């Protein structure tokens, strides 16, 4: 084999072409403002002197984002049976939503996970807590804690509405 030749110098980089024109600026993003709404708890015999609950929702097309806060401050009868809450729009599908917490003010370090069960075309969702065995159990006046007037719960979730 013969000798290998030496590498010659690298050539100069060519001229960069002109940049393309900048396109027009698109429209500013628009965001819906939250709409106030009053969630209402129902249950067999459940009664309040007034409803201090508050909530809001944002609806974008069929997508609904909900926030609600329900204190038991004015409850005069906790009733019996499972609790439910009205929805701002009927859901398109049978589904579960997560993102809630029951606050036990008797022991402020205790918070219980809360979920909602939505039924297609129904204006209410039933409320459930998750037991220690991961089973869904009905949320009521005595479970997962015995409720009193200083307790509360809140939820934030999304679902698809019928229209």
The answer to whether 89 touches 162, Cβ cutoff 8 Å, is yes
What is the reported pLDDT for 2?
Answer: 63
Residue 15 has pLDDT above 70, yes or no: yes
Mean pLDDT, rounded, for 143-156: 96
Mean pLDDT, rounded, for 85-101: 96
**Interval 130-145: pLDDT, tens:** 988 889 999 999 999 9
CA dihedral 125, 130, 133, 138 (to 10 degrees): -50
Residue 84 has pLDDT above 90, yes or no: yes
What is the reported pLDDT for 104?
Answer: 92
Higher pLDDT: 34 or 14? It is 34
Q: What's the CA gap between 59 and 54, in Å, rounded? A: 17
The answer to whether 137 touches 81, Cβ cutoff 8 Å, is no
Nearest to 127 by CA among 87, 73, 77, 75: 87
In the chain, the percentage of residues whose pLDDT exceeds 90 is 72
Under the banding of pLDDT at 50, 70 and 90, the label for residue 1 is low
**Interval 31-61: pLDDT, tens:** 789 999 999 999 999 999 999 999 999 999 9
Residue 71 has pLDDT above 90, yes or no: yes
Instruction: Indicate the pTM of the whole model.
Output: 0.80
């Amino acid at each position: 084999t013969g000798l290998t030749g030496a590498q010659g110098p690298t050539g100069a980089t060519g001229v960069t072409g002109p940049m393309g024109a900048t396109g027009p600026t698109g429209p500013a993003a628009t965001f819906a403002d939250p709409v106030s709404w009053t969630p209402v708890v129902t249950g067999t015999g459940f009664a309040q002197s007034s409803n201090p609950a508050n909530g809001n929702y944002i609806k974008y097309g069929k997508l609904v984002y909900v926030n609600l806060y329900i204190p038991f401050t004015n409850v005069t009868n906790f009733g019996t049976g499972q609790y439910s809450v009205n929805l701002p729009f009927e859901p398109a599908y049978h589904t579960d939503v997560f993102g809630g917490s029951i606050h036990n003010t008797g022991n402020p370090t205790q918070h219980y996970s809360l979920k909602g069960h939505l039924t297609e075309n129904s204006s209410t969702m039933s409320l459930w807590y998750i037991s220690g065995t991961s089973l869904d159990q009905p949320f009521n006046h005595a479970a997962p804690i015995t409720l009193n007037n200083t307790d509360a719960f809140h939820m934030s979730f999304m679902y698809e509405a019928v229209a």
